[in-house]
Amino acid sequence: MIVTYREAYQWLYENSKETGVFDSIRSLLAWDQRTVIPSRGHAHRAEQTAVLTRLLHSRRTNPVTAERLDAVEGSELVRDPLSPEAVNIREWRRAYDKAIRIPERLAVELARAASEGQTCWQLARPRNDWDGFKPFLERIVALKREEAEHLGYIREPYDALLDRYEPDETAEGLGSIFSALREDLVELLQRITGSHRRPDPSVLRSPFPADRQEAFARRVLECIGYDFEAGRLDPTAHPFTVGIGPGDVRITARYDESFFGQGLFGAVHEAGHALYDAGLPTDHWGTPMGDSVSLGIHESQSRMWENMVSRSIGFWEFFYAEARTQFDSLRSVPLEPFHFAINEVRPSLIRTEADEVTYNLHVMLRFEIERDLIRNAVTVSDLPEIWNEKMRAYLGLTPPDPSSGVMQDVHWSSGAIGYFPTYTLGNLYAAQFYHRAEQELGDLQEDFRKGDFARLLAWLRRNIHGEGSRCRPRELVRRVTGEDLNSGYLMAYLKDKYAELYGFTA
């Protein structure tokens, strides 16, 4: 049947919107599995996920999609490459070309392995049961290697997986960025550890009841713009955000009743993700134009709110009086020692609890390991030893057990290999975006001191969130900041902040 290019576009548009609804159902199943599912429901959830994945794969590989794409790609709809129609067509083609390379059998196996792997990880990590978890991880790694081969690549198989999270990035390109950044971070870390100033972290080690932590977190999240009528905050083993659809973006947190910070900063981090999802253009929901650009850009939002906002002095000049009312153990602690303590730089075992200076070293370690896994240069059995060796080399620490070492993250158990580098890219993007925001808006700390976060959020909505997937990540950076990605902004931010805290010249 012959169709016009406009009829073809309408078919693609409606198909994309309907596929988005099915995707949102899968997201809801994933949220439920990581929060409130009964322990005996996991096996059936794996089957539900497999069936839904088979349906989605069938939709994404429908031969009619190729026919409709052929009809629109040379039309006037793509004359302006940044128009919503052209953006959708570009990304539909990209998604289709990737989907048809993956056999349905592999797509279903990956979905089932990820569902079962997450369940095993949730049970095995608290028990330090590496031997019990290892077979699940071996299966996932084998499937991801197979996926990379089907997707294809120019330089190496890891690039095929990385491209799913950060379009156009390569292991080689990241290696160059990370290598230079590592040298700067190590030098800064040496200056900090050589300082005579030290915070007193014991002020954060007191009873902090989980219910009060949650109440305080809710208050903070409301102030920065998270809408609880369009989302939820629930406890989980490993914090995450999931966008179910318009008006429903959910976040989670993990609380430690003997330590202040893990719950709050984790919640703010996830709220940064949620604010991005909530700020995407809802009239384009279900199409690429209504989706986020990449995981790196997504992480730029979470890391900005977590670190540049909620760990800043202006933020706490507004919130600290309320925190001292909420938590008895803070009432005798002045603001300055508290602020220094929450910004302490100290090599640690756990990535999600790492400070801003050492955090990227955790990410680089994971990037190198998973890249070598996909290269088949190392095996899953090698991981505990390799992990510990790299921890000693990068951070001078040796994990005492798998739970605080190789098993600490949920990502590999869920098949998210290629995800970790986006955290460091997010830090780089965040610093560059924040610098530009202050150039245009002035000193944002003055806003934070008044409890005003609306101007920053509006700037992000205007420049990043509302743009959907109009541009690829690096092009978005150029459009927003006027220059290419530049790691100098992150290092300048870190040096200025920590020189003042630790008393040395930036």
SS3 500: helix
Q: Which two tokens stand for residue 429?
A: 């993007």
Instruction: Give the CA distances from residue 345 to residues 197, 357, 498, in Å, rounded to whole numbers and listed in that order.
Output: 11, 7, 9
Work out the angle between the directed axes of helices 171-193 and 359-375 (0-180°, nearest 10): 150
Structure pTM?
A: 0.94
Question: Given this model, what pLDDT does residue 330 score?
Answer: 97
Query: Which pair of structure tokens corresponds to residue 408?
Result: 């600490």
Q: Which residues of the chain have pLDDT under 70?
A: 1
Question: Would you state the pLDDT for residue 353?
Answer: 86
Angle between helices 295-303 and 473-481 (to 10 degrees): 50
- Are 444 and 438 a contacting pair, CB within 8 Å? yes
The residue extents of the domains of the chain are 5-165, 171-502
Cα dist from 305 to 138, 273, 355, 457, whole Å: 36, 9, 14, 10
* Amino acid, res. 29: L
Contact 280, 290 (CB under 8 A): yes
128: region left, alpha or beta (phi > 0 left; psi from -120 to 50 alpha):
left
H or E element at residue 332: none
- The letter for the amino acid at 400 is P
| Architecture of domain 171-502 in this structure | Orthogonal Bundle (1.10)
Could you give the residue numbers annotated as active site?
Answer: 270
